[in-house]
Amino acid sequence: MSTIGIGQAVVLGVVEGVTEFLPVSSTGHLKIAEGLMDIPVDDKAVVAFTAVIQVGAIAAVLVYFFRDILRFVTAWGRGLADRSQRTSHDYKFTWWVIYATIPIVVVGLAAKPLIEGPLASLWVVAGSLIVGSGVMWVADQMGRHKRGEADTTFKDAMLVGCSQILALLFPGFSRSGATMSTALLLDLDRVAATRLSFFLGLPALTGAGLYELKDAVGGGVDAAPLIVGTVVSFVVAYASIAWLLKFVAKHSFNAFVIYRIVVGALVFALLGAGVLNA
């Protein structure tokens, strides 16, 4: 019997699509939604399910940024074939994304038992939401927002890429929040920080989804909920990406900071009252 039903898959797909790229923690919101629907958040099949439906959100990035990604891949291919093409920023940036993905892959594999065990607790999610909001507020205030996407360096990519580990270990911190905050502290403007977060998340999230697919299917989740959740995630994530890029071009991250604090405090209250099971 499937651990997750079609209706639950739709709800989780919407939650994933809305929150994956907003700096509010998709993992945290998924765990909260699962808790409210009495789905065991520490069940391996459930953990795997949430990783798999992320592929839908990643597919939305691939479609939305198709021209940019095609440009990067083309430049990378030209650089591999011709040394004279290796000075282009697009060629180097593609390598930086690959290098910046290595740390999170190593930590993800090494810390898998912790990530799927003690760190999957909703207490951790609530605390990480609040702590992460403080980091984001400081980054947005301290960042000088003076550098664009063309100004990114290998150092930027590695630091932003490594910051994803925070969200991996502490669900609720938010991968997008961690990467955007790091980019802002490096003085990138908000649009550049947001786009960099998208591109750096592609390999890690895609790899995680494909890696967890066997556990989701083998662990008791039927193929139908997986497909439904992934498709819903794709559609909602595409709209979310378009909205976020327009929003950050004109606004600060304060709305996300306030929202995270409110949600984190609410989860603490629900856990304390016994409404939610950690």
Longest dimension (CA), the chain: 64
Q: Does residue 13 sit within a domain?
A: yes
Which amino acid type is present at position 160? V
Instruction: Give how many domains the chain has, as a whole number.
Output: 1
- Output the CA torsion sign for 268, 272, 276, 278: positive
Q: What is the pLDDT of residue 50?
A: 84
Q: What is the pLDDT of residue 228?
A: 94
Q: Does residue 278 sit within a domain?
A: no
Q: What is the pLDDT of residue 1?
A: 39
Q: What is the pLDDT of residue 216?
A: 64
For residue 21, what are the CA distances in angstroms to 142, 197, 240, 267, 270?
A: 22, 8, 8, 21, 26
Domain coverage including residue 15:
6-272
Q: Does residue 277 sit within a domain?
A: no
Extract long-range pairs of 247-254: CB within 8 Å, 24+ residues apart: 248/190, 248/191, 248/193, 248/194, 249/190, 249/191, 252/140, 252/190, 253/23, 253/136, 253/137, 253/140, 253/180, 253/190, 254/137, 254/140
For helices 89-110 and 190-218, give the axis angle rounded to 10 degrees. Answer: 40
Q: What is the pLDDT of residue 214?
A: 66
Q: Does residue 1 sit within a domain?
A: no
Q: What is the pLDDT of residue 217?
A: 63
Q: Kindly report, residue by residue over 222-270, the tens digit of the pLDDT.
A: 888 989 999 999 999 999 999 999 999 999 999 999 999 999 999 999 9
Q: Does residue 241 sit within a domain?
A: yes
| Integer Cα distance of 91 and 218 in angstroms | 39
Residues in the chain with pLDDT values less than 70: 1-2, 213-220
b/e per residue, 210-249, with b = 16+ CB within 10 A?
A: ebbbebbbebbbbeebbbbbbbbbbebbbebbeebbebbe
| Integer Cα distance of 7 and 4 in angstroms | 8
